[in-house]
Structure 1
Amino acid sequence: MEVFNQVIVVARIQDVSSVDDSWQQSNGSKVKFVALPYYVGFAGLLLNALSIRKTIRAECIKSRALILRVPSQSAMLALFGTGTKLGYALELVGDPYDVFSSGITNNGLDRVLGFLSYLGLKRMAKNALSACYVTQTYLQKRYPVREGFVSVGCSDIELKEEHFAQAPKVIQKIATKLVFVGSLEQLYKGPDTLIQAVSLLKKQGYKFDVTMLGGGHFLNAMQQLAEKLDCAEMVNFAGPVAHTQVAVYLEQSDIFVMPSRTEGLPRALLEAMAKGLPCIASNVGGIPELLSEQYLVEKDNAAQLANTILNLSQSIPLLSEASECNLRTAREYEITILNQRRKTFYQSYLTLQEKFNESSTSA
């Protein structure tokens, strides 16, 4: 609101019967919402395609700045055939190619849609006046804007002062408490890989206390996997946890583990780093921008994950070094720093949009 006089949010909106106590109202005198039909999956997109395109296009008035948060099938549908006539900007928060090539779905149609989404997003970036990426280099290389146009790296994760530990952890013993944070609605976060790694560590004679935060469709399946691999006594499934309570679990843990199959720049990892937690994660998406190579593992590689957990957990010097380094890195994502970077992005885009509109009018 420091840059724009009014913000109109066009998005899928779902009606619910009650309001959760933790929810905050987002609309106001200068912020309004325009509802797209609430749909799930490709079939839902097809059924609502005409309505989605019509609704979005109605808001694409020339005098307005148009910022598309992508990847988004709705945005791609709205721009199809006429995108080059609109002076838009992008906020790139993820990579559809990684999502669909991660092996999470075995549906052939999903893989085709993933590749088409990749091509579509690449074209959208090419025709954009400017783009803001949640990564510093990863998404920029895959979906670049044209040479000479604005490209900004600015995470959408905003860490406030209360998110940060006052100092790195004082570590005096080996680590035994691991924590995992992630939805179990899909297996994007690799919870099964972590359980397999814990099982391998148990077979080697090591005991860990693993807390897994998150609920969803695969919760029962993960509990059954822990039973099958004979490590259920080492894994505590906490289920869905309010975001305000996640910090408590982080503070009580020794190592944060995120063996994701696909990521943009994960909020949970940065929040763990801000607490000074030593962290281990897979080398996907923007994660290598956050952690040093010795704490990165290949996705789906339970043996490598087990070895990395073992090497870090048994070394007090490594744990102390990782805590200090992670806290320092997380400080780069403090809200005041990112807000200024994002404000610069909006202002730069508006300058380009004005020139674009003038050239379109004269043409």
Structure 2
Amino acid sequence: MEVVVTCEFRFYRTPDQKVWTSSAFLYHFWQRYLATFKKVIVVARIQDVDAPQQSWHLSSGLDVTFVGLPYYVGFAGLLRNFRKIRKTINAVVTPQRAVIYRVPSQSAMLASFGIAAKQGFALEVVGDPLDVFNTGITNGPLDKILGWVSYTGLRYMARNALAACYVTKEYLQRRYPVSNCALSVGCSDIELPAASYVTQARGFNTPGKQLVFVGSFSQMYKGPDLLIHAISYLKKQGQAYNVTMLGGGIFLQEMQALAKKLECSELIHFAGEVEHADVIQYLDNADAFVMPSRTEGLPRALIEAMARGLPCIASNVGGIPELLDNATVVENNNWSQLAQKIHGLLSSPESMSQASMRNLEYAKLYELELLAKKRGDFYQSYFDLKSKYS
């Protein structure tokens, strides 16, 4: 049986019909489906280009093909391409194929109200659209409307799904429950290879001073501004902490200007875009990891930091409270509490050592082989349900 997988990521296609990615969803990602299904058909936004950039990686390959949606950007682009999106998805979804919607996804939601809704689909719930729009991505009253529509749409999809795999243990399941007769599984989308883990927890004998932040500056979801405000506040209290911020995007210069305005730019190093292989070195050189996100599913960067034995501080959004204890979780959008938590943790070598030990042990729950088996079992169970449904 073939499987159709929808994805909100944007890809690039060269004249030879190869499909490329600038970061996530490399070819090996789709192989997780090929262990159960004979072919993967990815439905996503694709932009045609003359040639790939040197940093791009192949996403298409043997038994992995793509069906392109219009390369729209933003809500206005979605509306302009509404009919074509539905037509394209409905054409590729057939009774003989399994269908897995990776959600939240505006295009998948459009399809779920059409012919595709009758084909016995499954969901992979990797985030919460209500939280996303509550962060104010359009900075206007449209947020509340889009948030409600996305929330209602995903709840509808969950109620009508044959099966759903959530990246959280409880959070997303409570907000977007499936029907009583459907299959529901909690399994992170993150798989860390053995090389991602340190062999033993860190032991701290002196207070920490070096923080690291990992996140895109393309949106303000990760809360870099909150961290900058916290560092400025701590400086004024006579408590200087150095931060290395990894990531690039359109808001990078704005954050650099904010650090200068708040008179703490000498404490913050903006490293820009960093290859994923080099991120580990930055983690290993830090005393703690900070993630003041405004919205999350289950963040890979946080789990990777935990696997390096780093003490971590993060906001109480999405599945983060399932990863950290209360002592290291911060209220969303509360930079003053963030400052207090940073100083409280890093001023105590004993607390840092305990956090390192706890985080490393907890991160082992996300080891590649363990989750690969759990996810593979989900795909096989859905395959069996779909076979009976058809």
TM range (shorter): over 0.9
> 1-side partners of 2:92 and 2:135: how far apart?
35
Q: Which residue of 2 aligns with 1:307?
A: 340
- Residue type matched to 1:148 in 2? C
1:40 shift after superposition: 0.5
TM-score, L = length of structure 2: 0.89
Q: Indicate how the Cα distance of structure 1 residues 284 and 182 shifts in structure 2: closer, same or farther if over 3 A, else same.
A: same
> 2-side partners of 1:32 and 1:19: how far apart?
17
Of residues 85, 102, 120, the one that matches 1:52 is: 85
Of residues 146, 150, 170, the one that matches 2:179 is: 146
1:153 shift after superposition: 0.7
Q: Which residue of 2 aligns with 1:117?
A: 150
Secondary structure of the equivalent of 2:47? coil
Q: Does 1:220 align with 2:253?
A: yes
> 1-side partners of 2:109 and 2:177: how far apart?
17
Contact 2:137-2:143 within 8 A present in 1 as well: no
1:166 shift after superposition: 1.5
Q: 1:42-66: per-residue Cα shift (whole Å, max 9, x none)?
A: 1111221222111111111101111
Q: Indicate how the Cα distance of structure 1 residues 176 and 17 shifts in structure 2: closer, same or farther if over 3 A, else same.
A: farther
Q: Indicate how the Cα distance of structure 1 residues 18 and 245 shifts in structure 2: closer, same or farther if over 3 A, else same.
A: farther
Q: Which residue of 2 aligns with 1:243?
A: 276
Of residues 36, 42, 46, the one that matches 2:69 is: 36
Deviates more, 1:297-306 or 1:283-292: 297-306
Q: Does 1:195 align with 2:225?
A: no
Contact 1:183-1:215 within 8 A present in 2 as well: yes
> 2-side partners of 1:208 and 1:63: how far apart?
58
> 2-side partners of 1:223 and 1:18: how far apart?
33
> 2-side partners of 1:326 and 1:98: how far apart?
25
RMSD over equivalenced CA pairs, Å: 1.3
> 2-side partners of 1:346 and 1:290: how far apart?
25
1:179 shift after superposition: 0.5
Q: 1:266-301: per-residue Cα shift (whole Å, max 9, x none)?
A: 111011111110000000000000000110001111
Contact 1:98-1:262 within 8 A present in 2 as well: yes
Q: Which residue of 1 aligns with 2:17?
A: none
- Residue type matched to 1:48 in 2? N
Q: Does 1:63 align with 2:74?
A: no
Q: Which residue of 2 aligns with 1:168?
A: 201
Q: 1:67-96: per-residue Cα shift (whole Å, max 9, x none)?
A: 111111111111224454220000001111
Equivalences for residues 249-288 of structure 1 within 5 A: 249-288=282-321
Contact 2:210-2:241 within 8 A present in 1 as well: yes
Q: Which residue of 1 aligns with 2:355?
A: 322
> 2-side partners of 1:23 and 1:216: how far apart?
17
Q: Indicate how the Cα distance of structure 1 residues 81 and 8 shifts in structure 2: closer, same or farther if over 3 A, else same.
A: closer
1:231 shift after superposition: 0.8
Q: Indicate how the Cα distance of structure 1 residues 249 and 72 shifts in structure 2: closer, same or farther if over 3 A, else same.
A: same
Of residues 121, 130, 155, the one that matches 1:88 is: 121
Contact 2:93-2:116 within 8 A present in 1 as well: no
> 1-side partners of 2:364 and 2:47: how far apart?
35
1:28 shift after superposition: 2.4
1:356 shift after superposition: 1.8
Give unpaired runs (5+ residues) of structure 2. 1-33
- Residue type matched to 1:150 in 2? L
> 1-side partners of 2:61 and 2:330: how far apart?
45
- More strand by percentage: 2
Secondary structure of the equivalent of 1:91? strand
> 2-side partners of 1:265 and 1:42: how far apart?
25
- Structure 1 vs Structure 2: percent identity of aligned residues? 58
- Residue type matched to 1:303 in 2? S
Q: Which residue of 2 aligns with 1:204?
A: 237
- Residue type matched to 2:170 in 1? T
Of residues 179, 201, 214, the one that matches 1:181 is: 214
> 2-side partners of 1:95 and 1:243: how far apart?
25
> 2-side partners of 1:105 and 1:304: how far apart?
26
Deviates more, 1:89-98 or 1:220-229: 220-229
Q: 1:163-199: per-residue Cα shift (whole Å, max 9, x none)?
A: 1111111322110000001111111111111011001
1:353 shift after superposition: 1.3
1:35 shift after superposition: 1.1
Aligned residues: 357
Q: Does 1:156 align with 2:189?
A: yes
> 1-side partners of 2:109 and 2:343: how far apart?
45
